[in-house]
Structure 1
Amino acid sequence: MNSSRRTFLKSAGLASASLLASLNGFSAKKAPVILLRSSWQTVNIGDIGHTPGVLTLLEKYLPTASVRLWPSDVGDGVDELIRQRFPKLTIAKAPEEVKQAFAECDFLLHGSGASLVAGKDVDRWRKETGKPYGIYGITFSVTRDGDDSKALSKASALDIDILSNARFVFFRDTVSLGVAKQNGVTCPVMEFGPDGAFAVDLHNDPLAKDFLKEHSLEDGKFLCVIPRQRYTPYWEIPAKKRAFDPQRNARNEEMREHDIAPLREAITAVVRQTPMKILIVPEDETQVKLGKTMLYDPLPEDVKAKVVLRDRYWLTDEAISTYVRSAGLFGLEMHSPIMCIGNGVPAIVCRFSEQTSKGIMWRDIGLGDWLFDMDNEKDVAGIVPAVLAMAKDPKAAKLKIKKAQQFVRERQRETMEILKKNLNA
């Protein structure tokens, strides 16, 4: 065979292989590998929810990407929960596994959280690898002086530098976005981006159904309610090994009745004026006791007859399977409402200054009239009427959240498109 014929056959073979690859939807470029830094703790179903939410978005919008999870805590059954939903996921826990992930991954994605939670780890990533990174759905640490528009940053110079050098930063509330700009963050893409927990689709229907049946709660005929204190008393959770904080405890004691009494009033109004029942649930471990002492125990006997107290903590999958069978949720927490809206369930948010600006996301997604500031007595007075309206007209409540849900989903798509462009680049 002469050389010209060999050259022709080689060229033809390469062309055929290229055409075949194209026809089969393959690319010569390696599929991207993403390192997700997330999973902050397991004592709160919202902190659990951040991770499966972002993983669900990656699965939906970047199906060819491979993902490694670098968690802080996936104990207490959360590891199994995540692996069951995402069987192909690699979880890097040990130092050698993290080191391997640094070598294999092309991009680090810092997941949703109350702040730049793992800023030091992002800094380590950029110094050791020189590879790109992005921040997805955080609140930028702020304090308030009574006016959210005048929020002040507490962020360190390191945080500002990390944010400025990210490929993108998505803030889960627009107050945080404004604070970042005020503090000189210069990231080329800074936008509102929904908390990752909006996308959680975990379910545990058997557990939820059994509990509801045991307590005679029928689908669509009960509301869920969650209490909260100004500061989570982590010192009450043995696994957290936190020292007692007298200052925070004093603030909790000072505001506990003020903050939780309107929820009791709403429970009483719903029970006495509608056919709805009430289910008291926790978002973190400390709220099981709080629900009993501050919501259930003080209720009048006629009201108690239609109120169920969940007397143990649960995981995110059972919680969502319960929420989707309810007519809605109200209370002083943030992430159960987030997961409700993501799953088509109405949710009313009550917030206070100690929670930073994250609650403002309700205004950002178009549910501002379901956002109540506990530091504003005019707002506090509106809680009972809003909850009662939700209970009296569940269909209208569901219609009310449709636009917000659509807005969140569109932003999820747009933010994932920005991540995809950075991976391709």
Structure 2
Amino acid sequence: MQSRRTFLKYSALLSGIAAGFDAVGQPAQRSILLRSSWQVENIGDIGHTPGVITLLEQYYPDVEIRLWPVDIGKGVDQMLAKRFPKLKIITAEADIKKAFDECAFMLHGSGPSLVRGKDLALWKEQTGKPYGIYGITFPGVYGLPADRWKFRPEDITIMTEAKFALFRDSASLEFARDKGAKSPIMEFCPDGAFAVDLKDDEKAEAFLKTHNLQEGQFVCVIPQLRFTPWWELPRKKQQPNAGKHARNEEMKEHDNAPIRAAIAAVARQTPYKILIVPENETQMRIGKEMLYDPVPDDVKQKTVLRTEYWLTDEAISTYVRSAGLFGIEMHSPIMCIGNGIPAIVCRFEEQTSKGVMWRDIGLGEWLFDLDHPEDIDRLVPAVLDMLTNKKATAQKVEKALAFVHKRQKETMALMQPYVS
């Protein structure tokens, strides 16, 4: 629980935000450089950025935000410009230099690790101005138990010199502290994607109409392999990884069979249809192979497979028209809960510790570790209960979302003293 001192600190900072004054009572002239937008092949990685911008827009309505992205191709730049017409997206070297000169604060957005810690170090070296880290997993590794997590020692220094270092799961927070990070403020912070409000209702409604999916009468499902096979996407320019591919082949049936069992139970025991969707560009193939093709004909008659990738706006417009979501991914559930839709998360050892955030926000009953047989055994009953016990489901979502909103409000306040 937050101490009274901490509560008063947040309250004072938020009063300053609301009044539009800086820490010394002068009219605030706000400018923030946001380092974010890590890749576009995953709607969740896309979602980090508009989520954090939405929060900045909400709590700092007169802020000038300059987004320094890694990748906003494939129409993501247009999607952001549509939602945030005042947003400045900078990619040219001259514009980045200008932002270093003019912006008062640099914020590292949510992500799977300290993705661009080196840029924070450069900012510190060249400007001496403050920076913060907002909602990351650390260190963000695949396929290692916690006692073997590897990290860059310089990242600890970067965190320590940050005005705040916020982590999207308690395991990362504990790990960073254990390794010596000593930022003045180190706390849990919900992933920025909880705040995404992008929408493309026209595309979503057209797709649902084409496939005879009625609002509130279908559930979304996402497959996954132990390691995302990015090497299947020519744009990623990655060489095939024999070891990861072998592990995927070894575990794909083990991991996706429980998801199929839940699909069958929904089809046979409830009035809901099933929509198999991708969170990243490799999952259309995985969904067809592991979820759609193997199900019996009676289940297939109530199941729709999405065969094309989509962007975050259409995905959210679809999710908010669904009865809920379950599967082996994290950010679609995040965006569902953020928009008031129930969602179940399945995970396994090869994923990072981000899944822990489901317990951190009070949804531990909806977190399933596929490496634990007892979790697999309780998945189907939990999916059915989520869809049929509507009152309890709504209460769980409401309670978790209230906690998320509380932490968003408190953590956004942390920038106020440094933005001028």
TM-score range (shorter-chain normalised) is over 0.9
Alpha carbons of structure 1 residues 74 and 402: separation in structure 2 relative to 1, 3 Å = same
Question: Do structure 1's residue 417 and structure 2's residue 413 form an aligned pair?
Answer: yes
Secondary structure of the residue aligned to 1:353 is coil
1:389 positional shift: 1.2
- Matches for 1:29-178 after TM superposition, within 5 Å: 29-141=27-139, 151-178=147-174
1:347 positional shift: 0.2
Amino acid corresponding to residue 336 of structure 2 in structure 1: C
TM-score by length of 1: 0.91
1:42-69 superposed Cα distances (whole Å, 9 cap, x missing partner): 0000000000000000000011211100
Secondary structure of the residue aligned to 2:329 is coil
Aligned residue in 2 for 1:286: 282
Amino acid corresponding to residue 313 of structure 1 in structure 2: Y
1 CA distance for matches of 2:411 and 2:20? 24
The alignment yields a C-alpha RMSD, in angstroms, of: 1.6
1:99-136 superposed Cα distances (whole Å, 9 cap, x missing partner): 11111111100000000000111111111111110000
Q: 1:274 aligns with which of 266, 270, 273?
A: 270
- Matches for 1:246-257 after TM superposition, within 5 Å: 246-257=242-253
Please say if residues 48 and 316 of structure 1, whose CA atoms lie closer than 8 Å, have aligned partners that are also in contact: yes
Aligned residue in 2 for 1:242: 238
Amino acid corresponding to residue 135 of structure 1 in structure 2: I
Amino acid corresponding to residue 323 of structure 2 in structure 1: A
1:30 positional shift: 4.9
Secondary structure of the residue aligned to 2:65 is strand
**How many pairs are equivalent?**
399
Aligned residue in 2 for 1:264: 260
Question: Do structure 1's residue 336 and structure 2's residue 342 form an aligned pair?
Answer: no
1:358-401 superposed Cα distances (whole Å, 9 cap, x missing partner): 00000000000100001111111111111111222334322221
Alpha carbons of structure 1 residues 142 and 111: separation in structure 2 relative to 1, 3 Å = closer
Amino acid corresponding to residue 319 of structure 2 in structure 1: Y
Point out 4+ residue stretches in structure 1 off by more than 3 angstroms.
24-30, 142-147, 150-153
Please say if residues 351 and 359 of structure 1, whose CA atoms lie closer than 8 Å, have aligned partners that are also in contact: yes
1 CA distance for matches of 2:243 and 2:267? 36
Please say if residues 34 and 68 of structure 2, whose CA atoms lie closer than 8 Å, have aligned partners that are also in contact: yes
- Matches for 1:297-376 after TM superposition, within 5 Å: 297-376=293-372
1 CA distance for matches of 2:383 and 2:217? 14
Max Rg structure? 1
2 CA distance for matches of 1:166 and 1:306? 51
Question: Do structure 1's residue 385 and structure 2's residue 381 form an aligned pair?
Answer: yes
Please say if residues 279 and 332 of structure 2, whose CA atoms lie closer than 8 Å, have aligned partners that are also in contact: yes
Structure 2 portions without partners, runs of 5+: 1-18
1:152-171 superposed Cα distances (whole Å, 9 cap, x missing partner): 54111110110010000110
Please say if residues 171 and 353 of structure 2, whose CA atoms lie closer than 8 Å, have aligned partners that are also in contact: yes
Aligned residue in 1 for 2:11: none
Amino acid corresponding to residue 67 of structure 1 in structure 2: I
1 CA distance for matches of 2:90 and 2:350? 33
Please say if residues 37 and 71 of structure 1, whose CA atoms lie closer than 8 Å, have aligned partners that are also in contact: yes
1 CA distance for matches of 2:53 and 2:326? 27
Structure 1 portions without partners, runs of 5+: 1-23
Please say if residues 151 and 179 of structure 1, whose CA atoms lie closer than 8 Å, have aligned partners that are also in contact: no
- Matches for 1:389-404 after TM superposition, within 5 Å: 389-404=385-400
1:167-198 superposed Cα distances (whole Å, 9 cap, x missing partner): 00110000101001110101110000000000
Amino acid corresponding to residue 364 of structure 2 in structure 1: G
2 CA distance for matches of 1:419 and 1:377? 44
Amino acid corresponding to residue 213 of structure 2 in structure 1: L
Secondary structure of the residue aligned to 1:70 is strand
Alpha carbons of structure 1 residues 382 and 209: separation in structure 2 relative to 1, 3 Å = same
Aligned residue in 1 for 2:401: 405
1:16-36 superposed Cα distances (whole Å, 9 cap, x missing partner): xxxxxxxx9787545121000
1:83-107 superposed Cα distances (whole Å, 9 cap, x missing partner): 0000001101111111111111111
